[in-house]
Amino acid sequence: MARALITHAHSDHARPGSQAYLCAEPGAGLLAARLGGKANITGIAYGQTVSMDGVRVSFHPAGHVLGSAQIRIEHHGEVWVVSGDYKLDADPTCCPFEPIRCHTFVSESTFGLPLFHWPPTTEVVADLHAWWIANQHAGRTSVIFAYAFGKTQRLLAHLDTSIGPVLVHEAAHRLLACYRAAGVPLPPVAPATDENIRRIAGRGLVIASPTSDPSALLNLSGPPSTAFVSGWMLLRKMQRDRGVGRGVGRGFVLSDHADWTGLVTAIGASGANLVLTTHGYAEPLARYLRENGRPAEVLPTHRG
């Protein structure tokens, strides 16, 4: 592509190979880190408008991860907004979601089923701290599996690091400089090298890659207590409450996507008279919107 407009630097939304990239300014460093040094990237401030072939384009906070944006496109008075991924819950690592009025709203729908309802973040973080402290009493290292970009940094911003030492996996650690450069306050943490893991064994917390090999950790730290942090953990929690599914570590429900109420709220706030759903439970969400008087269709997109 000659020009790519990027909502955020997650790999299912930002691919290498385009000649030029435009994104929101707070995400430019992250995009460069993810796409590699040669990519031609321009960042513009949230709310600033640029003209391209008679089309007005601007980026507005999506509340998903640092630098994430909804893209507003205006042509002859017709306004479309492409959401990218978004959430309405507060996140200390990025600007809050900003509702933008438009005619057509392209909405993600990752958690577009009514059963997805997030517990309050303070509750989740308190449970996570209690789990960490209980693991310390049992002499076990706490290992949390979380995405390198976004989730890891949000966890860091919430963690009480007076409980014990925290390590983060190296891919996530490399991105911390981008966060600090953007003015996001994060506690000082070391990378999860073999040597560091041995040093904090039995009392520390390691934020590991979801793809990392738990048996490698076992050799370094003894048998760890493991947990996943994701919106999908709600499904595991529901299974557990019904007495099925066990033995694969704890699940903490913390998502960087809107839950059902968040999606419906954001769509309502857009005032759009057409909603195009994509990227998840697109069909159930579109059907619900239509049944409630708002024209909606599924927009087929390529999903990484």
Rounded to an integer, what distance in angstroms lies between the CA atom of residue 62 and that of residue 85?
7
The piece of 8-16, 35-43, 44-52, 184-192 that touches Zn ion (CB under 5 A) is 8-16
- For 130, the 3-state DSSP assignment is helix
Which range of residues in 10-18, 20-28, 30-38, 225-233 is near Zn ion by CB under 5 A?
10-18
Contact call for residue 10 and Zn ion (CB under 5 A) = yes
Interface with Zn ion, residue 12, by CB under 5 A: yes
Find all residues with CB under 8 Å of 68, minimum gap 6, and list them: 7, 8, 24, 27, 61, 62, 84, 85, 86, 94
Q: Which of residues 74-93 bind Zn ion (CB under 5 A)?
A: 85
CB of residue 290 vs Zn ion: minimum separation in angstroms?
24
- Using CB under 5 A, which residues numbered 152 to 211 contact Zn ion? none
In the bound state with Zn ion, the residue whose beta carbon lies nearer, of 64 and 173, is 64
Q: How far is CA 278 from CA 105, 153, 224, in A?
A: 11, 26, 38
Q: How far is the CB of 182 from Zn ion (least distance, A)?
A: 17
For Zn ion, what does the binding mask look like between residues 26 and 65, x meaning CB under 5 A? ----------------------------------------
| Distance of alpha carbon 233 from alpha carbon 250, whole angstroms | 9
Pick the closer one to Zn ion by CB: 12 or 170. Answer: 12
CA atoms of 59 and 213, how far apart (whole Å): 38
Two structure tokens written together for 69:
């944006």
Stretch that binds Zn ion, among 7-15, 22-30, 53-61, 193-201 (CB under 5 A): 7-15
d(Cα 59, Cα 71) in Å, to the nearest integer? Answer: 5
Shortest gap between Cβ of 42 and Zn ion (angstroms)? 21
Nearer to Zn ion, 171 or 190 (CB): 171
Beta bridge partners of 51: 56
Of 11-19, 208-216, 238-246, 261-269, the segment contacting Zn ion by CB under 5 A is 11-19
* Shortest distance in whole angstroms from residue 12 CB to Zn ion: 5
**Residue number, 10 or 250, with CB nearest to Zn ion:** 10
Closest CA to 166 of 141, 137, 146, 194: 141
Burial category of 273 from C-beta neighbours within 10 Å (exposed 0-12, middle 13-18, buried 19 and up):
exposed
Please, what is the minimum distance in Å from the beta carbon of residue 10 to Zn ion?
4
Q: Which of 64, 82, 72, 81 is nearest to 26 (CA)?
A: 64
Per-residue tokens: 123: 């509750």
If binding is defined by CB under 5 A, does position 303 make contact with Zn ion? no
Comparison of 30 and 220: residue with beta carbon closer to Zn ion: 30
Q: Which residue has the tokens 């599996």?
A: 145
Q: Which is nearer to Zn ion, 66 or 197 (CB)?
A: 66
Q: Assess contact for 81 and 102: CB atoms under 8 A.
A: yes
Q: Using CA atoms, how far apart are residues 243 and 94, in angstroms rounded to an integer?
A: 37
- Residue 41 or residue 205: which is nearer to Zn ion going by CB? 41
* Closest to Zn ion by CB, 72 or 151: 151
* Minimum CB distance to Zn ion, residue 86 (Å): 9
How many residues bind Zn ion (CB under 5 A)? The answer is 3
In the complex, minimum distance from the CB of residue 257 to Zn ion, in angstroms, rounded to a whole number: 8
225: nearest Cα among 245, 248, 257, 242: 248
Interface contacts to Zn ion, rule CB under 5 A: 10, 12, 85
